[in-house]
Structure formats: structure tokens, C-alpha cells
Structure 1
Amino acid sequence: MANPIYTRLQGTAQRLIAKYGQAGTVTRISEPDPIEGGDPVPTPYEATLVPMAYSAQEIDGTEILSGDMQIYISSVGLAIEPKPGDLVSASGKTFRVIKADPNNYDGLTNVVFIVQGRIAP
């Protein structure tokens, strides 16, 4: 059973992201069939998110680069859990997910997804 505190935190995160955030997409690229081949298939998922720049103290030049964004994605209604390699569209730009944190403290409730995004080539 989900802990009620995490369910409330999830609701709070969803309300704040809906109020201050924007519509975006998280796109998962499926690998081609290993036998039949073909092209990778992108599948977009609608999301509500807030992109935020990292502070100068957080940018270390190795793990976090200048231009990377910390993107808060509402877990409510998102059909997938973002993972490295996914693409996130926000503020008219496309970011590749480098790291993803579901903020899942009880093992059941994803409170909010926080991902590190890097401009996709």
C-alpha cells in the first residue's frame, strides 16, 4: 500500500508543475527489431514539466555541463518513467535525458521525475 504522505507530495508536485510549468513531451525511441531490422520508432508521451538551469555551483564540467537543464516532470498521467536516452521537449528545445530520478521513496509512488537533460544533437 502506498504511503499517504508520498501520495500527497505527488499531488503537491503535480499542482505546482501545472501552475508554473509548461506542456512538453517525453519521447522514447524503441530499438529496431533485432531480426527484422528497420528504423528506430519514436513514441511521444505528453507531459507537464518545468525546465530549470543548473546553478553555477552545480556545473562541474564533467557530470553537469554548461547548458544542461534540470527538468521536473509531473509523474501524474505520464505513461512511462523517463530514463537515460529518452528525449524531452521543453522551451522549444530537445534535450536527451542523461540521468533520471523518479523520487520514489516508498517503492510505489513516483512523486516527481527529475531528469538531467542535455541539448540533443
Structure 2
Amino acid sequence: MSNPLYARLQATAQRLIAKYGQAGVVTRLTPPDPILGGEPVPTPYPATLVPMAYEARYIDGTTIRSGDMHIYISSVGLAIEPTVGDIVTANGTDYAIVNGDPNKYDGVTNVVFIVQGRTAS
């Protein structure tokens, strides 16, 4: 059962992201059929998000590189849980998710998705 505290935190996160954020897209690439082959199939999911550059003190050159973005994604209305390998489109740029923190404290309610995005090549 969902904890009411986390439902309120989710609503607060959604309200702040809607106020200060922008429309974006989380794209999941479905791998090709292992027998028939083919190309990966991209499936876009509309999202509301806030992309922010990392502060210089957090950039170490290995785990967090210059140009990486700290992206807060509202969990409200998002059909998937963003994971490593997904692509987030924000500010007209595609960012590959290289690390993520789902913030699912009670194991049921996704409060907000916080991911690290690296410019996709």
C-alpha cells in the first residue's frame, strides 16, 4: 500500500517540475528480435522534466563528465520508469541515461526520477 507521505511528495515534485520545467521525451529502444534481427524500435514517451547542468564541484571527469546533465523527470503520467540506455530529449538535445535514481522510497510510489544524462552520440 502506498504511503500518503510519498503521494504528497510526488504531487509536490510534479507541481515544481511543471512550474519550472519543460516538455520533453523519454525514448526507449526496444531491441530487435533475436531470431529475425532487424533494427531497434524507438518508442517515445512524453514527459515533463527539468534539465540542469552539474555544478563544477561534482564533475570528476569519470563518473560525471563536463557536459553531463542532471535531469529531474516527473513520474506523474509517465508510462515507464526511465533506466540506463533510455534517451531523454531536452533543450533540443538527446541525452543517454548513464545513471539514475528512481526515488521509490516505499517500493510503490515513484516520487520523481532523477537521472544523469550524457550527450548521445
Q: Which residue of 2 is the match for residue 104 of structure 1?
A: 104
Q: Which residue of 1 is the match for residue 120 of structure 2?
A: 120
The offset of 1:61, in angstroms, is: 0.5
- How many residue pairs are counted as aligned between the two chains? 121
For 1:9 and 1:85, how far apart are their aligned partners in 2?
27
For 1:75 and 1:56, how far apart are their aligned partners in 2?
28
For 2:110 and 2:72, how far apart are their aligned partners in 1?
12
What is the CA deviation profile of residues 67-100 of structure 1, one whole-angstrom value per residue up to 9, with x for unaligned ones? 0000000000000000001000001100000011
Q: Which residue of 1 is the match for residue 20 of structure 2?
A: 20
Q: Secondary structure at the match of 2:82?
A: coil
Normalised by the length of structure 1, the TM-score is: 0.99
Ranges in structure 1 where 5+ consecutive residues have no aligned partner: none
> Does residue 1:91 correspond to 2:91, yes or no?
yes
Q: Which residue of 2 is the match for residue 60 of structure 1?
A: 60
Q: Which residue of 1 is the match for residue 7 of structure 2?
A: 7
Q: Which residue of 2 is the match for residue 45 of structure 1?
A: 45
Q: Which residue of 1 is the match for residue 74 of structure 2?
A: 74
Q: For the aligned residues, what is the CA RMSD?
A: 0.4
For 2:101 and 2:77, how far apart are their aligned partners in 1?
17
For 1:53 and 1:111, how far apart are their aligned partners in 2?
21
Ranges in structure 2 where 5+ consecutive residues have no aligned partner: none
What is the CA deviation profile of residues 19-40 of structure 1, one whole-angstrom value per residue up to 9, with x for unaligned ones? 1000000000000000111110
For 1:7 and 1:102, how far apart are their aligned partners in 2?
14
Question: Percent of aligned pairs with the same residue?
Answer: 72
